[in-house]
Amino acid sequence: MGENPFVTRRKAHSIGRSGRASEKKFARTLDAQTRPASGALPGAKGDMSGTRFLVEAKSTTRASTALKYQWLAKIGLEARSEGKTPALSVSFVNGDGSPCKDGEWVMIPAYLFREIFE
């Protein structure tokens, strides 16, 4: 019998207490639901889901973070498979997971950004 996918993912991508707290707080502001095991289970991908969107959430207590194309490609594929719009949230947070001033951002595809501002 293989190891639980959640346990495997948790070992490979440890998310700290501030990251989990940030994810829950941000989901509430978007009126979204967090996904079980933070998207590690089959059929429940992404970190949080709303009516029209699927969000991959990243947070850090540091002053900067690297942006990876892999994150965008992953959430794009997962969102399309569910008929939703992909988004990547990046939060700069304090140790308790609360956002720093002007520290919460959401990246959406350019086509949607253009659509919003036309």
Residue with tokens 């990876």: 68
From the list 45, 47, 51, the residue with the least C-alpha distance to 23 is 47
Q: Domain limits at 47?
A: 5-116
Distance of CA 68 to the CA centre of its chain: 13
pLDDT band at 11 (very low <50, low <70, confident <90, very high): very low
Residue with tokens 């850090």: 60
Q: What is the CATH number of the domain that holds 92?
A: 3.40.1350.10
Distance CA 1, CA 116 (A): 48
Of 11-15, 70-74, 90-94, 97-101, give the lowest mean pLDDT range.
Answer: 11-15
- State the pLDDT at residue 24: 85
Distance of CA 30 to the CA centre of its chain: 12
CB atoms near residue 79 (< 10 Å)? 22
**For residue 1, what are its two tokens?**
């019998």
Distance CA 77, CA 111 (A): 16
For the chain, what is the domain count? 1
User: What percentage of the chain carries pLDDT values higher than 70?
Assistant: 80
Calculate the alpha carbon distances from 1 to 5, 8, 58, 61 in Å.
12, 13, 31, 37
pLDDT band at 12 (very low <50, low <70, confident <90, very high): very low
